[in-house]
Amino acid sequence: MKVWLATTDGALEAALGAVLGAPAHGLRTFGEAAAVGAALDREVPDLVVLDAREPQSGSLEVASRVRVHPLGSTVVLLALCDSPGTAAALLAEGVDDVTTSLAPSALGDRLLVCERRHVERAALAERRDAGRDAASALRDVVAHLPDYIVTIDRAERIVFASRGGPGGEPEELVGGLAVDHLAPEQRDKFRTAFAAALATGQVQSYEADSHGLPWAVRVVPVHHGSEVVGVTLIASDLSERRRMEAQVRRTDRIAALGTLAAGLAHEINNPLGYVMLNLTYLQRRCGEALALDHETAWLRDAHGRLESTLEGVERIRRIVHDLRVFSRGDDGPLGAVDVVAVLDSAVNVLDGAIRHRARLVRSYADAPFAWGHQARLAQVFVNVLLNAVQALPEGGPELGEITVSAEADARGRAVVTIADTGEGIAPEVLGRIFDPFFTTKASGVGTGLGLWICERILAELGGEIAVASEPGRGTRVTVVLPAVRTPGATSAPPEGDRA
């Protein structure tokens, strides 16, 4: 224990040293009490023994200075005094104990009491510091939460605010009435929940629109023993959740439309078969009549019209087939897929949209069959093609170009590239295009799920997708898929062949 002694009496120093066993206990003697006060600025002892037997000893000033020192809470003060009046004054100033005897036994007893008191105070200070650090860390965490957290007493006054808001900074909110910082139309809701929380001790919840934002508010009772002494109000911004809920609803509608499209395609396909059979029969009979020199103007015209009608119906048949592939709910087993055929199907589904905005350029090399599923890959290609179409300006095909290509890379994998000459993607946006619900399109145009879904589908198939873009220079999307060695393969390719 570090002990300081303020005295000019050598007998007191010797007696104290004998009891402490100095220098093992670190006894340091100051010739006058004022020197103790000056030394406090450099270090803090465990025990200070003051010789207050002289009227002008300065012991009262030292005791006062120790007690107001930032680190003085753990210091124990022991005074040697022979005057009851002086002893009372010292105790009132914060001295812990007073002794009148220099006898080793009496002095030893007092020092033992002082040492125990110092140990208790040091432990208490350590716990207090730990609690203060924990409270500070908790305040830092609370301050960085997205929610507003405000503690309010029974008089509706704010005693804590996690962060500032429309009503001001946290320190400006404390002490004010909570209702003064609420929109007028929300005060009744708050007061109803506040009163219910105080009366029942149960958490109350409500939703409110305030300052142009939707909020979910929880009013949590604060208990002290069995008494409710206030509430903690937790307000959470619902904007993101509402946006995601709207996106999910839109996605559900899209899924429902897919199911509807699959049903319509199935219903259309049957009568379409009859139409094609009858048209083919009529065209054949017209051809036979013409071959027998029964040529007339109306027959030639009918034959030509039947031929163009058959071309249109064949186009409808292809679209219905591709629509059924794209909207098929049951993916079925994985296997070898002709990526060129699937890519063409995706182009057919979007042919009308493409023809109004861009020239379509196909470049198919010797692309291998890929491991996957026709419907899933069709969904990927349609999503990417739709993004390419929407990146181009309206006004005619001469304003833009979309290039689709399929080939094998150096590792033999199937590589599909879809490029457009649209407006491109800004660098700060490019890193977020695969985030769910992220979109730069106008409200109602995009869900922000297209590329996220594509990435997930390809990851499940062992493939990958990459996007390269530059503002004003267009965008290039590359899809890489593991190849299969034979078109009829029903087992996955080796891991080394995967993307």
309 within some domain: yes
Measured between alpha carbons, how far is 389 from 349 in angstroms, rounded to an integer? 13
Residues 368 and 489 in one domain: yes
Alpha carbon of 139 to those of 83, 144, 146, 149, 168: distances in Å? Answer: 50, 9, 13, 11, 18
CATH number, domain of 82, equals 3.40.50.2300
Q: Do residues 288 and 340 share a domain?
A: no
3-state SS, residue 215: strand
The DSSP H or E segment spanning 172 is: helix 170-173
Number of domains in the chain: 4
Output the domain CATH number for residue 380. Answer: 3.30.565.10
Contact 233, 152 (CB under 8 A): yes
- Among residues 237, 256, 271, the one where a domain terminates is 237
Q: For residue 242, is it within any domain? A: no
Report DSSP state, residue 485: S
Q: 297, 327, 357 — which closes off a domain?
A: 327
> What is the pLDDT, as a whole number, of residue 330?
47
Domain boundary among 284, 300, 327: 327
**Whether 31 and 135 share a structural domain:** yes
Q: Is the peptide bond before 23 cis (omega within 30 degrees of 0)?
A: yes
- 390 with 264, same domain? no
Domain membership of residue 357 (yes or no) is yes
**Side by side, which strands form the sheet with 414-420?**
359-364, 401-408, 414-420, 474-481, 464-470
Say if 475 falls within a structural domain: yes
Domain annotation covers residue 228: yes
In sequence order, the 6+-apart residues with CB closer than 8 A to the CB of 380 are 454, 457, 458, 465, 479
The secondary structure of residue 391, as a DSSP letter, is T
* Same domain as 364, residue 497: yes
State the DSSP H helix or E strand holding residue 346, giving kind and residue range, or none if neither: helix 339-349
User: Do 130 and 273 have their domain in common?
Assistant: no
Q: Is residue 41 part of a domain?
A: yes
Flag whether 191 is in a domain.
Answer: yes
Same domain, 126 and 24: yes
Find tokens 């899933």 and name the residue. Answer: 376
**278 lies in a domain?**
yes
> In terms of residue numbers, what domain contains 60?
3-139
Domain check: are 120 and 151 in the same one? no
pTM: 0.43
107 and 155 inside one domain: no
pLDDT in tens, the chain (499 residues): 788 888 888 888 888 888 887 554 678 888 887 888 788 878 888 888 888 887 777 888 888 888 888 878 888 889 888 888 888 998 998 889 898 888 888 888 888 888 888 888 888 888 887 777 776 776 666 666 778 888 999 999 988 888 655 555 777 788 888 888 887 878 889 999 999 999 999 999 998 887 677 888 999 999 988 899 999 998 888 888 777 776 666 665 566 566 666 666 666 766 777 677 777 878 788 777 777 766 677 777 777 777 778 777 777 776 666 666 555 544 556 788 999 999 998 888 788 788 888 899 999 988 899 988 887 888 889 889 988 988 888 877 788 899 999 999 988 999 999 999 998 988 888 888 888 767 776 655 555 667 888 888 888 888 999 999 988 889 999 999 998 866 655 555 545 555 5
Same domain for 59 and 110, yes or no, is: yes
Pair 127, 251 in one domain: no
Distance CA 95, CA 396 (A): 95
- Print burial letters for 258-282: b (CB count within 10 Å at least 16), e (below 16): beebbeebeebeeebeeebeebeeb
Cβ burial, residue 284 (10 Å; 0-12/13-18/19+): exposed
Could you tell me if 263 and 367 lie in one domain? Answer: no
CA triple 317-387-318, angle to 5 deg: 5
